[in-house]
Amino acid sequence: MTEIKICGVKRPEDARTCAELGVEVLGLNFWPGTPRHVSVEEARAVLAEWTGTTVAVFVDPDPDEVRRVRAETGIEWVQLHGEESPATLRSFQPHAYKAVGVAGAGDVARARAFGGEHILLDARVKGAMPGGTGHAFDWDLAVTLAAERRLTLAGGLHAGNVAEAIRRVRPHRVDTASGVESAPGVKDAAKLRAFVAAVRAADEGSTRAENV
């Protein structure tokens, strides 16, 4: 099954809805440059409603800040979504991976420099935030890397296109933020349900096709 990551969760009630829907992973954003930013206190309130995997998202963080958030929240996994180097990523592994913005094939080649089992590809949009932009990139660029690594596919995914993305890329995990929101950081329960249903339907379709 394709794992589902709902990123930019701020509200405990949204974490509760994700848990009820069977979502596997939540992303909590600790970068202050986004409206989806959470404090440690807000993160704890979200985590009180959640028992699945959690990923702490940072953009070019101070290493001490990452260590502090890990210690004070218990979140183990870290996603680096800025201009961090492969060496910086290694300092936080094994439970860390790099998010790489993609605008062309060269960006996918650059992603291979980052070690570890997991990698995330997102859309790179000039002048926009590192993630959560609602824009997609050319999914065909991700196909080869998805066969090599545990790829998280992000960027403009929503209930109307995620099944096609899964069919074309076969990622380990799909990741959405704005695609299930009514406002930045405010998840929409109906959009969450539709997104999860679309992913599960795509998985079922793939399984049937493989068994024919």
Other C-beta atoms closer than 10 Å to the C-beta of 33 total 12
Whether residue 98 contacts residue 104, with contact meaning beta carbons closer than 8 Å, is answered with no
| Contacting residues for 208 by C-beta, under 8 A, at least 6 apart | none
DSSP secondary structure of 70-81: HHHH---EEEE-
Is there a catalytic annotation at residue 122?
A: yes
Catalytic option among 7, 14, 18, 175: 7
Whether residue 136 contacts residue 156, with contact meaning beta carbons closer than 8 Å, is answered with yes
Catalytic option among 18, 62, 107, 122: 122
87 vs 57: CA distance, rounded Å: 18
Closest CA to 17 of 43, 66, 44, 52: 52
Bridge partners, 123 (sequence order): 102
Q: Which residues are catalytic, by number? A: 7, 122
